[in-house]
A and B are shown apart, each in its own frame.
Chain A
């Protein structure tokens, strides 16, 4: 029987694929030379890449980092060679980053640590909102570390001690956070271990810290401004208990506005005269460079978020007049270019205000850019609201929640979560658009590059400055857009 079988009784071993379809060769055959058209495209692309790199690279790699002027650079690279003069960046990069923020050259202390700390704290403040894979304790580690490093930098006996203590605390919490994993921590909390406070507390007080760090002045002013919210809250609690929630809201808003308009500066001055604590005040006109761009971008986005929410709700509401007002505002702002709004800031805003008011140009630009951003923000949030299934609204109604409770507890948390990628995109757009302020004469990086070019030593240098500015913008915007894409992917997987 066995001699009759001519059919193979066992499988042949798999043979290795031919050399031309695996490894580098196989990959190239598949992706670069899979046909005549593809081969031509590949060769054309390679030639193109070679030409661009051959033109740019020798220019970029020039040993002129220490050149002190354009002529100096020319001597370094030798006559006839066309090469970059990086000395201008070496000489002016601090100005391109900080503008004319006090650096100690005109007497007084170097204040540039303040924008750096404000920026680092901004990162700490947004992490609990934007990166939910960072644990609560790591967030506190970040905060303590930033504050500790600031203390060490400021030096002095007090600064040293406070800095070391804070860094030690950061190290301790960080070590504990790294040594216990998620499940163990959950068990600890279950057993009654104390949790650290929610880091969102810091996110909430950051809006008062940042302006104080940037503009300086007495610390009592931001504290007084924050007190306005406390006063509004208590007014709401008492008034709504006596008169109902709608009246309560009105009373709270009126009380807070009266506090801010009339009493804040009085209170701040009074306390400051008793207990003067503060930083050296820095005028807005000294702001410049990327610090100005980031300040305008962050302030505009932060302030436009609540306005945008209100506008989006107004646009979605059944109240005809409210809806008409919101649609009119949004469409008007979106219909005109930002530059016309900046013209309003530079020439008209003072005319619209009561006679005698005169606030500085950066504040006016901030107001107009905020209005601009809030119209776009409203559309982003409206998209988030529209993406929520109707069942969510109906379920909130079925639970008997009133309009504001439904928005606060059910609708907004979900709608805002869906909108985060859109909000980040809006932020990228606004951040890029801050370059427009150079047209009305503010010293953002582009405006500064014109000023630097007017200098005798760097007369007429274009590529180096534009290249540096473009690179910094690219790094910022590209990383944010990657983040937003990552977020979009993450939001897609979850069920909404």
Chain B
């Protein structure tokens, strides 16, 4: 063997320039260096063009404009903001709005998609056809069209607030929710013995308040969940040791519900209902049409894709699996949770997350209905007002890139953790 290699070894002669191309030891290095040089030349060419053009326009690239007053209003926002705040804070409001509609959309799309995916597999002919019609209708029409269409439905078909005054329209759900063509007003939780807020970051653009009430509720709730898990683990241990499982469900429910209810009562929880005052509703939480239209359209559109994924996932688990589990004597709910779901989820989750990613990216179409997400603030009004196209678009892309990479990082981590461990 040794002799063989020594014979086929290339002779260690003097290095010649042509070896860079014709010697497989150096060729890949040569190609890579040429590619790198070409790439660097391209980048340098673009940058020098840009610098030249910007100099001609008299613009120096800088991000200083972000700390100037924005001067425009954002009607749907999660933190306090006024038009005297900086562009940075306006962009932050936009980012939070993007994340809000993305989170709401992902939740709703998952629910719709799972329900529709299961219905498509229903043995009932009409139901499965209806689900198929839903899927094809939403998958084959552009999402932007659905967004403006939903917005038009909300504006044109819902009653104006004045109709409530004349008695032509009434509030829904025992007079707690007002559905108008200016948006939906839902009750908001209020605390009469509020603990107050912690104000962070002073007066800077990143300032925000942390509600101590919410912190207390979250602490008690998650503490209860933790204790409930400990109880479950001890029940598991008892079952392993003795074969009998102690009945613990009331303990597990109680440690979560009772402390949370006590804290809510101590804080004095009550609901602030929307009321018709003057020409409009006051009180309650106002969800604007733009938010609702975007939310509905994105979740229905993405739900259609998720329905197909769920259907494919369930169909991917072969019938033999559930039959084998049945032969082992498992009950049907155990078959579902121990045999079918773990296998179906392995197929479902990766494309599901990439659909979440698509939904988040599609939320940038908010600009079509005037919902002030990050594209509407940073890439819309801020760009037009400051004339800083280069900086704003770069920032905008960076923000979306961070969101996308975070989501796909989570996806890769999940894929690694559920991958079949082959031995």
Contacts and interface: CB of A to CB of B under 8 A. Distances in A.
B361 A45 contact: no
Given A433-B142, A436-B144, A321 B36 contact: yes
A469 interface: yes
B90 interface: no
B104 interface: no
B389 A348 contact: yes
Contacts of B379: 339-340, 343
Given A38-B124, A352-B46, A336 B401 contact: yes
A347 B400 contact: no
A469 B122 contact: no
B139 interface: yes
Interface residues of B, number: 55
A347 B267 CA distance: 52
A344 interface: yes
Contact of A320 (B32, B54, B139, B140): B32
Contact of A340 (B28, B145, B368, B400): B400
B153 to A, nearest CB: 9
Contact of B361 (A337, A344, A348, A446): A337
A477 B140 contact: yes
Contacts of A34: 123-124
A337 B125 contact: no
A470 B389 CA distance: 33
A318 interface: yes
A322 B53 contact: no
Contacts of A45: 124, 126-127, 130
Interface in A348-364: 348, 350-355
A284 interface: no
A462 B124 contact: no
Contacts of A432: 140-143
B130 A435 contact: no
A255 to B, nearest CB: 17
Interface stretch (B1-9, B106-114, B246-254, B390-398): B390-398
Interface string B173-202: 000000000000000000000000000000
Interface in B365-398: 365, 367-368, 375, 379, 383, 389-390, 393, 396-397
A331 B411 CA distance: 14
Nearest to B131: A45
Contacts of B139: 477, 481
A340 B148 contact: no
B32 A321 contact: yes
B39 A325 contact: yes
B142 A347 contact: no
Contacts of B396: 340, 343
Contact of B54 (A31, A325, A351, A462): A351
A466 B36 CA distance: 48
B49 A354 contact: yes
A446 B122 CA distance: 36
Contact of B49 (A319, A344, A352): A352
Contact of A337 (B22, B362, B405): B362
Size class of the A contact interface (CB-based, 8 Å) = 35 or more
B41 interface: no
A348 B387 CA distance: 11
Nearest to B363: A337
B49 A348 contact: no
Given A318-B28, A348-B390, A351-B49, A335 B152 contact: no
A419 B401 CA distance: 27
Interface in A222-246: 244, 246
Interface string A22-64: 0000000001101000100110011011000000000000000
Contact of A473 (B136, B142, B156, B365): B142
A375 B149 CA distance: 30
A432 B362 CA distance: 12
Contacts of A439: 144, 365, 367-368
Nearest to A478: B140
A462 B361 CA distance: 26
Contacts of A469: 145
A42 B375 contact: no
A382 B145 CA distance: 31
A34 B128 CA distance: 14
Interface string B142-166: 1111001100100010000000000
Contacts of B33: 321
Contacts of B142: 432-433, 435, 446, 473
A436 B54 CA distance: 28
A466 B126 contact: no
B46 A321 contact: no
B227 to A, nearest CB: 38
Given A336-B404, A435-B144, A481-B139, A470 B149 contact: yes
Nearest to A335: B404
Nearest to B39: A325
A334 interface: yes
Contacts of A321: 32-33, 35-36
B388 to A, nearest CB: 10
A103 interface: no
Contacts of A42: 124, 126-127
B152 A48 contact: no
Given A335-B405, A469-B145, A31 B125 contact: yes
A339 B143 CA distance: 13
A352 B137 CA distance: 40
Most chain A beta-carbon contacts within 10 A, residue among B35, B139, B140, B143: B140
B316 interface: no
A425 to B, nearest CB: 10
Nearest to B402: A335
Most chain A beta-carbon contacts within 10 A, residue among B33, B35, B124, B127: B124
Nearest to B55: A355
Contacts of B22: 244
B390 A473 contact: no
Contacts of A477: 139-141
Contacts of B375: 337, 339-340
A393 interface: no
A435 B145 contact: yes
B127 A41 contact: yes
A474 interface: yes
Most chain A beta-carbon contacts within 10 A, residue among B127, B141, B142, B152: B142
Given A325-B36, A432-B141, A439-B144, 12 more contacts: A31-B124, A321-B36, A335-B404, A340-B379, A340-B400, A344-B393, A347-B393, A435-B145, A439-B367, A466-B152, A473-B140, A481-B139
Interface of A: 31-32, 34, 38, 41-42, 45-46, 48-49, 244, 246-247, 318-322, 325, 331-332, 334-340, 343-344, 347-348, 350-355, 428, 432-433, 435-436, 438-439, 446, 462-463, 466, 469-470, 473-474, 477-478, 481
13 contacts: A31-B124, A42-B127, A45-B130, A321-B32, A321-B33, A321-B36, A325-B36, A340-B393, A352-B46, A432-B140, A439-B367, A473-B141, A477-B139
Q: Which 8 A-B pairs have the closest CB atoms?
A: A335-B404, A477-B140, A31-B125, A347-B389, A337-B361, A432-B142, A337-B364, A321-B32
